[in-house]
Structure 1
Amino acid sequence: MTDQPAKARIPIIPTILVALAVLTMIGLGVWQLQRRAEKEQALALMSNNTRLPAIAFPRFGADLDHYRFRRSSLVCLDTQFVEMVAGKARNGKTGYRAIMACRTGAEGPGAYVDVGVSPSPSLPEWQGGAVQGVIALKPTSQSIWGRMTNGAVVDEPLLIADEPAQGRVPTSPPNISDIPNNHLAYAVQWFFFAAVAVIIYILALRRRNATKAA
């Protein structure tokens, strides 16, 4: 009798696990392509907002893509300091932006106002009043990991005041070109990871079968 070469066998469970991982990565790539299209629509909407007339300041929880970059105004009846964040002034210098919370009615809703930049993290001298400016998003310090583990942060509207508080300079208004749209690059990365995973697994199977045949 002659020896018959052993047939190459594909392990079922590892193959299923790899297939699921590859399908997941492909799915994430497709999702990023969808997000890219959504971001392009949002950027087009916000670009058009810069040419529209002033609008009432939005309530918390509104779809802010329809409000960002539009001019607005409010009356701040009472103020409370919220936080100091790094930022850039309209004159190009960097410093500390002061974010204030405002009471705009007897019971609300409230609003956040950026009252300008100073070179030191000193508390602003500002008691509110009529404010005009541009609608932006309130800065958040939560990391990407924090968003993943604690849930997505709800964006809140912020009015960047044209006239800063005493001793401060106006904060640089938001710029649409600063909003990234990296979803195509992320999609390519996920597709690349899926292809690499398939290649590595095929090479591993060949090596495994060659070892058994030896």
Structure 2
Amino acid sequence: MSLLRRPAWWAVLLTLAGTLLFLRLGVWQLDRANEKEQILRRYAAAETAPLRDFAAVATAPADDGFPRVRLRGTYLADRLYLLDNPRHDQRGGVEVYAPFRPEGMTQWVLVDLGFLPGNGTDKAPQIPALPEGPQDVHGLYQPAPGVGFEMGGDALSRQTAWPKTTIYLDIPQVARDLGQPLYPRVVSLDADPAAIYVREHQPDFSSMPPARHRAYAFQWFTFAVAAVVIFLILHRKRKKPKSDSP
């Protein structure tokens, strides 16, 4: 004998849709947690990896890796780009990028010099002079910071004074501004205790670490279980009250 009343079709459909949605959101949160952990592991492995020749990975770097590279070339010290509102925004300041012309190569590459803390005002901090002449540099060859919603179009083309400031770093846009093709990634210089710049390669997941994604996944899975339990409770058969016989 069934313990449940025959449910209405819309109740079944609503419960099924809600349960599947909650399960999908839970799985998505688990996927995000795993994705971030993999990224952190790749960065951790890259920090201690041996240096590779830049020419070997410049054009087609592996999608799932961040090689440490070495290259020799010359900075274009009068063509700097300042990334405003980077991940260090709570301290104020800018991430400083310099075009770099590698020796024996036809394209240039942007070099991430690091984060320069603010000076307590709304003005850009004073940027130290770059060394002149050929330089040997080494660091992680990694994707540029993500491009957000471009409000107002190409802001670089409207600026006439250097350094130029931007709230996102779009490699093709910078290449158009320089009038010179650029390699698809940036070289983030290795940490140097003697440098004024702060150099932190790993992405900042402090606001949403993998553990928090897993907590949200547990929450969504709990909602899925709750939807099924509520459906069963609402459709269980109730015992008929006993009638008193005369």
Alignment TM-score, normalising by the size of structure 1: 0.59
List runs of 5+ in structure 1 lacking aligned partners. 1-6, 144-152
**Preserved contact between residue 83 and residue 95 of structure 2 (Cα < 8 Å):** yes
1:169 maps to 2:203: no
Quickly say closer, same or farther: Cα 1:194–1:125, change in 2 above 3 A: same
Kindly state the Cα deviation for residue 169 of structure 1 after the two structures are TM-superposed. Answer: 1.6
1:54-133 alignment runs, 5 A limit = 54-56=51-53, 59=58, 62-63=61-62, 65-67=64-66, 70=68, 72-73=70-71, 75-78=73-76, 79-85=79-85, 94-104=91-101, 108-120=107-119, 121-122=124-125, 124=127, 126=129, 130=135, 132-133=137-138
**Preserved contact between residue 87 and residue 95 of structure 1 (Cα < 8 Å):** no
| Larger relative helix fraction | 1
CA offsets, 1:81-133, max 9 Å, x none?
A: 24233566xxxx94413332525367635324234414332363556763635
**How many Å separate the matches in 2 of 1:177 and 1:14?**
44
1:187 maps to 2:217: yes
Q: Which amino acid aligns with 2:84?
A: M
Q: How big is the alpha-carbon RMSD for the aligned residues of Structure 1 and Structure 2?
A: 4.4
Equivalent residue number for residue 150 of structure 1: none
**Per chain length, whose mean CA-contact separation is higher, i.e. which structure has more relative contact order (CA < 8 Å, sep 6+)?**
2
**How many Å separate the matches in 1 of 2:144 and 2:222?**
35
Equivalent residue number for residue 167 of structure 2: none
List runs of 5+ in structure 2 lacking aligned partners. 150-169, 172-183, 239-246
**Preserved contact between residue 80 and residue 96 of structure 2 (Cα < 8 Å):** no
Alignment TM-score, normalising by the size of structure 2: 0.53
1:29 maps to 2:26: yes
**How many Å separate the matches in 1 of 2:214 and 2:27?**
10
SS of equivalent to 2:85? strand
Equivalent residue number for residue 159 of structure 1: 188
Count of paired positions: 185
1:8 maps to 2:8: no
**Preserved contact between residue 87 and residue 96 of structure 1 (Cα < 8 Å):** no
